[in-house]
Structure 1
């Protein structure tokens, strides 16, 4: 790894960590970057989880210090997500590199289109245990399955379930999201480690930047308006990456 590659990992990590906490799409930057730096797709997929775990830990710690208190409900939602993530990681290790790259391009394009859709203004309310129906748990299993397989754009799915379905305030959605992602990514990372699909040097440098980005994002998330401009920054970079993947 060169000095330039190391700096690129830290820099992209900052941007990705910031985006992942406030919106979605950070892995649409980091996963292709790891592949562009020469890591095979499956190794890049596993290595990316190091950054996700540490940036989520940073965000959860910062949210708790800022007064967030949703641990019990988040853990309830995380249980089916963990089961799904184990299955998703197992499946990811069994697809070919060519198929994985095709899925990555399709997912990035689909996520970009979903991000362009206007966010409806909903009357939100606090989440309670009584509102956690079997449909919600099934949705969490599906999110965990997807996250265990590829992770890219998983935040969009959280917005669909937690904001549109359960009508939780978007700032609180981000709190639930990072804690659930932390819990379900740990066992998925364990599977990639067990199969030798993690490059720790790359992963830790990426994590260094993403933890800083996550910490900055928590400060913005707790502000009244948040960072709506993040979506447009993400979309611009996504388009450039898709073109790079298609015409590499």
Structure 2
């Protein structure tokens, strides 16, 4: 691994961790970077998850330290997500490079459309409890888990659609629950890639160092004044990045 690769991975990881915690879209940076460095799509997909696990550990710790503890609801939402993630990760190991690249392009297009949907009016923080666990939500978590296990790119958008639009909770709470649920389902998903030999630990761990730093900054900004406003601004920046990348491709 060259010095240039280390620097690029650290920078990409930091930006990815920041974006993932603040809103979504970090893997749209790190996954292509890993592929550009010569990894096949499956190994890049697996290696990318090392950083995702560690960045979500960092963000979860930061949120808990700040007094945000939605562990009970988060773990209950994670159960169906884990089931979906295991199937999704296993499916990803069977997909060839060419097909995966086309899927990645389609995912970027779909993600940009979802991001462009107008946000409802800003909501006040509500009390989170088990009343939010309804069958449509459980089914949606299975789907989100499958998607996260398969590709993970911009999975935060799906959380915004489900938790913000359907459950009616504010964007800060969405991100607090998101990092916990992603952490729980990503560990077994990563295990699938490890078991099938599709993780480059050198690239993955360097990427993770940057991701953890970015995640800490993102979690700090989410909890700070105007956190929800920053989330919306970051989302708009992600949309612009997606459009530019699609034009260049």
Distance in 1, Cα, partners of 2:123 & 2:207: 37
TM-score normalised by length of structure 1: 0.95
Tell me the equivalent position of 1:231.
235
Tell me the equivalent position of 2:53.
53
Which of 232, 245, 249 is the aligned partner of 1:241? 245
- Asked whether 1:95 is paired with 2:95, we answer yes
Distance in 1, Cα, partners of 2:57 & 2:120: 30
Tell me the equivalent position of 1:63.
63
Tell me the equivalent position of 1:20.
20
1:164-183 superposed Cα distances (whole Å, 9 cap, x missing partner):
00011110110000000000
Q: How far does residue 67 in structure 1 lie from its aligned partner after superposition?
A: 0.8
Tell me the equivalent position of 2:107.
107
Superposed CA RMSD in Å reads 1.3
Equivalent residues in 2 for 1:112-191, closer than 5 Å? 112-121=112-121, 123=123, 125-191=126-192
- Gaps of at least 5 residues in structure 1 are none
Q: Secondary structure at the match of 2:161?
A: helix
Tell me the equivalent position of 1:212.
213
- Gaps of at least 5 residues in structure 2 are none
Distance 1:98-1:42 versus aligned 2 partners, 3 A rule: same
Tell me the equivalent position of 2:77.
77
Q: Secondary structure at the match of 2:168?
A: coil
1:47-87 superposed Cα distances (whole Å, 9 cap, x missing partner):
00001000000000011001101001100000000000000
